[in-house]
Amino acid sequence: MDNPQTALSKRAREYLVSIQTRGWRCSLDEIRKAMDALGKPNIKLKSIHVAGTNGKGSVAAICASILKAAGLKFGLFVSPHLIDLRERITINGQEIPEDRLSELTLETKKTLEEESKPRIELTYFEFLAAIGFSYFVEQGVSSVIAETGLGGRFDATNVLQSDVAVITQIGLDHVEQLGPTISSIASEKAGIIKKGSDVVSSAGHSDAFRVVRERAYNLNCSIMELGKDFEFKNVSADIHGTKFDYQGTRILRRVRTNLLGSHQAENAATAIAACDVFARKEGFEITDEHILTGLQNVNWPGRLEIVSRNPLMILDCGHNPSAARRTLESLDELRIKPGTVVFSASRDKDFQSVASLVFPKADRLVLTRYNSPRALEPEKLAELPEARNKQIVITKKVSEAIEKARAITRRNETILVIGSIFLIGDALSWLRYGKEADFTLAGFRPLETPKS
């Protein structure tokens, strides 16, 4: 089988590992200096820029699929990756080649840290953004879809022009870094909106909509809001995908996406609006057929993804309460009850709230840890009140958890693997390659609180 981890050169890998200790920065000063030193690739790229708590990755992936169907050459920058670092930097679905990633890593390091005076030291995420944007321009890409990593205002991707700024559903996550309220988090996410942006908002909560709307109005930006300027309705979902009607930038009846769950109708509607706004702004055409084809061919692993049928096994990256709630609601709509839940969580996440939603749905729990110091010990999960009176299996490896779940689950039941993005990466690596995931380059870093 193929190696599930990027075969970077030794020097490139050692450098990328070394800079992961640099904390998240509450400033765009260094990444802006880096862009200048690298020839300003950020201003050479037209962008659909996506921020939000939940759905931003799905919206970015759907936009990418639509633009691919429309024949546009575009870059996609997302995070985190599930298995391979190269997942973060793609052109029309093709990952950056391993040798070019190694070369760009060392070339960029030399430019920023050896040739620039004073030297420019980027965080891990900033460095990957710098490489990604440089690679896109080098390859003749004029348009990019970029998903923010954390927040928006101080996110490294915010050096882009944000021609279309998309704000997806806002929920409570990363509260230590982004603030304790929906409004404070929305304010950080809305920081990607700039003068000249066109805004598409499906922010969800009324407070979030208000914050995004005020930011757009203050900068004289046009704004399209879900529920006012575009909408989805007549949603139906089964294990083959999701159907809905769309009305807004165009009218589409009974369109289908291969992504599971009724919440994907919202993400798809947001992506359609964003692509239409972008196409109108940049002067190219997206037809109904482009949209229909794009929606049916979205590639976004680990989001209510069915990986086996007997028994039915579903993987989902829901790692915060609002995401987990949406996942469970979608399963209810699909009339799927998880007989067995495989669960792992990060120590710095609100695992108690996620567990309180997920554990009661299952008859039995397989509690495990993914392959990183950031993972919570499964014994801690077993102590949670919602784990009482459940059949519990504890393992120290995700691979063992998957096999244990298969062994104790009847063929007519369902296994749900949920709780952490990195759990899903580990599970996919085992299922695809028979190997544990290597999270050496996952980008775990200490975080600071954004300054006003």
Say if 226 falls within a structural domain. Answer: yes
Do 329 and 424 fall into the same domain? yes
Q: What is the pLDDT of residue 244?
A: 98
- Asked if residue 254 lies in contact with residue 292, where contact means CB atoms within 8 angstroms, the answer is no
The reply to whether omega before 4 is within 30° of 0 (cis) is: no
Q: Which of 27, 56, 70, 50 is nearest to 144 (CA)?
A: 50
Q: Domains in the chain: how many in total?
A: 2
**232, 264, 296 - which closes a domain:** 296
For the chain, 452 residues long, the average pLDDT of each consecutive 10-residue run is 63 92 86 98 98 93 97 95 94 96 97 95 96 98 94 94 96 60 92 97 94 97 97 94 96 96 94 98 97 96 91 90 88 93 91 94 95 90 93 96 96 93 92 85 51 43
Do 28 and 149 fall into the same domain? yes
Do 275 and 372 fall into the same domain? no
**268, 296, 324 - which closes a domain:** 296
Do 309 and 275 fall into the same domain? no
Q: Is 187 left (phi over 0), alpha (psi -120 to 50) or beta?
A: alpha
DSSP codes of every residue in 248-303: SSSEEEEEEESS-STHHHHHHHHHHHHHHHHHHHHT----HHHHHHHHHT---TTS
Say if 1 falls within a structural domain. Answer: no
Do 151 and 218 fall into the same domain? yes
Say if 20 falls within a structural domain. Answer: yes
Do 244 and 359 fall into the same domain? no
Do 89 and 217 fall into the same domain? yes
Do 219 and 256 fall into the same domain? yes
55: domain CATH number? 3.40.1190.10
Residue 71 is given by DSSP the state T
Say if 377 falls within a structural domain. Answer: yes
Do 394 and 257 fall into the same domain? no
Give the structural domain span for 100: 10-296
Q: What is the pLDDT of residue 178?
A: 62
368: domain CATH number? 3.90.190.20
Strands (E), 32-174: 46-51, 74-77, 89-91, 94-95, 143-147, 164-167
Q: Is 234 left (phi over 0), alpha (psi -120 to 50) or beta?
A: left
Say if 417 falls within a structural domain. Answer: yes
Distance of CA 1 to the CA centre of its chain: 26
Q: Which of 169, 127, 174 is nearest to 346 (CA)?
A: 174
Do 48 and 113 fall into the same domain? yes
Helix (H) or strand (E) holding 367: strand 364-367
User: CA 87, 91, 94, 98: dihedral to nearest 10 degrees?
Assistant: -60
Do 271 and 327 fall into the same domain? no
**296, 319, 347 - which closes a domain:** 296
Do 268 and 333 fall into the same domain? no
The full length of the chain comes to: 452
Say if 418 falls within a structural domain. Answer: yes
Q: In this structure, is the dihedral angle defined by the CA atoms of residues 227, 230, 236 and 238, taken in order, positive or negative?
A: negative
How far apart, in whole angstroms, are the C-alpha atoms of residue 55 and residue 270? Answer: 10
Say if 2 falls within a structural domain. Answer: no
